[in-house]
Amino acid sequence: MSVGVSSLADQRQPVNESLLGRVPLFASLPGSEIHHLAESLRQSEIPAGTLLFREGEHGDRFFIVLEGQIEIIKAMGTPEERVLGVRGPGEYIGEMSLLNRDGLRTASARALTRLQVLEMTRADFDALLHRQPTLAYEMVRVLSVRLRESQNRTIRDLQDKNRQLAEAYENLKAAQAQLIEKEKLERELQLALEVQSSLIPRATPRLAGWDFAALWRPARVVSGDYYDFIPLHAEQDAPGWGVVIADVSDKGMPAALFMVLSRSIVRASVAHPLSPAECITQANRLICADATGGMFVTLFYTALGPSDGRLTYVNAGHNPPLLYRADRDQWSDLTRTGVALGMLSMCKLDQRVIQLEPGDFVFLYTDGVTEAANEQGRRFEEDNMRRIVHEHRRAPAAEIVSAVEREVSRFIGDNPPFDDITMVVAKRVS
Amino acid sequence: MEISVSHEQGREPVTVLRMKGDINRATADQVQAQARQAFEAGARNIVLDLSEVPYMSSAGIRVINDLFNLLRGDSAAEMDEAMRQGLRDGTYKSPHLKLLNPTRHVQEVLNMAGIDMFLEIHGNLKDAVASF
């Protein structure tokens, strides 16, 4: 609230004539006029923080500052609020509403400090101008200075606003460009996944006497895991199949690229009419030549004779697949026969041979299964996986794979999978 | 994961990195950074003390392989015919990186990946240091 007439009138003090003579507005007035003003003006003391008047109110007086400082505020209390200026001793405020036809305050005024002011009512002001018309020149001079200041400030404010708008526009443009780039990257990642998915067999081989199942579930968009079924030496009388499961040591796009490289090299290497150990030893040499950055791939490869049930395998540092023997209802592990591929270029890999009888199967997996973690950070562990595979040992291959997948999903709950999960089952049924 | 670094003097100066805690995907980067730091500080013969590592995932194998390559890269000139033959025969062991006293689980992981085929594993520090 602005202060009322009565509240100021209570603090009215006698006006000192010599003080009046030092006010620039009155400097040119004759002594008789100063004496008259001293009688008619009121001097008031106003505490700091007091609102003298508010923009838009009707104004019936103006103030001459003797001591202290007053700030002139436009659009007070709104987001557009700004201080037009600060008036100090010798200056006056509130004259605009006395000159304006509508008599409304054009800005608000607030005491920055404790004030000593002189108040002049509209009637006194009109009478003074009648008596001393030359005073109007002095007021016009001050008015024109204030107008120029106000215009300059308005232009500066407009320029500031313009600059802020231009900056905001630039920021918006940059954010939009980032968004477009992000969408582009996501599209590219999606395309990478499509390319990678196309390298994973669409279906398992259909071979008389055999039941195959496989699962490939990338944890992120792309994967470092893969499995493969490769027809071998189709030109021979008894063509075989190569079965691969592999896990690249890293994650994300580098692992995905390394996976694609490894897959191609292994495919090309096993096409040679050599033993599986020789083929994978050759693949290792080629992978090592390209394995910059310390990446490697653990890989299990087995050549499978569909007619005789013979599996000749190479385990290059991969989690040992489980072998189930139906006649003895027993399990064993197909342990490593050499180092993971990409570690040592000249190392030798060995092979082993096993014979699958009807009811026997091998269960291949990557450590995404056993290391799947729940929200408490506990791992699924190999024992759980072995138990589930054991419980489903007489079920079709697809059921074994889906049972493990189901249990892993239930175990991790809402925890996002960290690692890719891949499984392959090759079961001899007759 | 806590890693302490100490120095032993055998025929060669040896840096011992003693790990305490699991080496998994969460801690592997820290182990790798510390191992690389030791290498950059001049360590050329390193013993990884694994006696207090209860669990190691494939991320740990990646770290060991990285350190093996780092130390091997420094000795590329040593790739003579005897070494090539050793690699072919499966008798080659790194002269610069040795493992100490892995727990049973970690030993299994090392065997699985074939790390033990080219890194010596010692049962006590004295033997490990003397082997350089």
The tokens for A143 are 């008015």
**Does A154 or A183 have the greater pLDDT score?**
A183
Band of residue A415 on the pLDDT scale cut at 50, 70, 90: confident
Task: Give the whole-angstrom CA distance, residue A385 versus residue A387.
Answer: 5
The answer on pLDDT for A22 being more than 90 is: no
Interchain proximity A316–B114, CB inside 8 Å: yes
Res A7: pLDDT: 46
Contacts of B58 in chain A (CB under 8 A): 247, 249, 298, 367, 371
Band of residue A13 on the pLDDT scale cut at 50, 70, 90: low
Sheet holding A51-53, edge to edge: A51-53, A108-111, A70-74, A82-87
Buried (b) or exposed (e) across A206-227, using 16+ Cβ within 10 A?
ebeebbbbbbbbbbbebbbbbb
Res A174: pLDDT: 93
Contacts of A317 in chain B (CB under 8 A): 61, 112-114
Q: Please provide residue A339's backbone torsions phi and psi, each rounded to the nearest 5 degrees.
A: -80, 155
- Give the model confidence (pLDDT) of A318-354 as tens digits: 999 999 999 999 999 999 999 999 988 878 899 999 9
Res B76: pLDDT: 52
The answer on pLDDT for A129 being more than 70 is: yes
Res A4: pLDDT: 46
The tokens for A91 are 């200056």
The tokens for B9 are 């003097």
A220, A280, A288, A296: best to mutate for the B interface, most B CBs within 10 A: A296
A359: three-class secondary structure by DSSP: coil
The answer on pLDDT for A5 being more than 60 is: no
Contact predicate A106/A76, CB 8 Å: no
The interface predicted TM-score of the complex, written ipTM, equals: 0.84
Nearest to B58 among A335, A348, A367 (CB): A367
Res A300: pLDDT: 98
Q: What percent of chain A has pLDDT over 70?
A: 95
- Give the model confidence (pLDDT) of A41-93 as tens digits: 888 899 999 999 999 999 888 899 989 999 999 899 988 888 888 999 988 88
Res A92: pLDDT: 87
Nearest to A336 among B66, B84, B112 (CB): B112
A247, A285, A347: best to mutate for the B interface, most B CBs within 10 A: A347
Contacts of B61 in chain A (CB under 8 A): 249, 317, 340
In single-letter form, the type of residue at position A258 comes to F
Q: To which residue do tokens 């304006």 refer?
A: A100
The answer on pLDDT for A409 being more than 90 is: yes
Bridge partner residues of B100 (DSSP) = B49, B122
Res B80: pLDDT: 62
- Give the model confidence (pLDDT) of A239-256 as tens digits: 789 999 999 987 788 889
Interchain proximity B111–A336, CB inside 8 Å: yes
Res B110: pLDDT: 93
Band of residue A237 on the pLDDT scale cut at 50, 70, 90: low
The tokens for A173 are 């443009």
pLDDT per residue, tens digit, chain B (132 aa), is 889 999 999 999 999 999 999 998 889 989 999 999 999 999 999 999 999 999 998 889 989 988 988 888 655 555 666 677 777 777 888 889 999 999 999 999 999 998 998 899 999 999 999 999
| Mean pLDDT value across residues A157-179 | 92
Distance of CA B59 to the CA centre of its chain: 14
**How far apart, in Å, are the Cα atoms of B100 and each of A306, A316, B29?**
45, 23, 20
Verdict on whether the full-model pTM lies above 0.80: no
Interchain proximity A347–B118, CB inside 8 Å: yes
Contact predicate A99/A146, CB 8 Å: no
Cα separation of the two ends of chain A: 99
**Does A175 or A292 have the greater pLDDT score?**
A175
Residue A366, chain B, CB below 8 Å: the answer is no
Task: Give the whole-angstrom CA distance, residue A393 versus residue A329.
Answer: 9
B108, B112, B115: best to mutate for the A interface, most A CBs within 10 A: B112
Nearest to A346 among B58, B65, B87 (CB): B87
The tokens for A17 are 């004539």
Task: Give the whole-angstrom CA distance, residue A101 versus residue A81.
Answer: 25
Interchain proximity A345–B87, CB inside 8 Å: yes
**Does A17 or B111 have the greater pLDDT score?**
B111
| Segment A193-201 long-range contacts (CB within 8 Å, at least 24 positions apart) | A193/A218, A193/A221, A193/A222, A195/A260, A196/A222, A196/A223, A196/A256, A196/A259, A196/A260, A199/A226, A199/A260, A199/A263, A200/A226, A200/A227, A200/A228, A201/A227, A201/A228, A201/A229
Nearest to B62 by CA among A319, A251, A225, A266: A251
**Contacts A–B by Cβ distance under 8 A:** 65
The tokens for A386 are 């072995």
Band of residue A236 on the pLDDT scale cut at 50, 70, 90: low
A278, A287, A299, A344: best to mutate for the B interface, most B CBs within 10 A: A344
CA distance A346 to chain B (A): 5
Residue A396 zone, left/alpha/beta (φ > 0; ψ -120 to 50; rest): beta
Res A117: pLDDT: 92
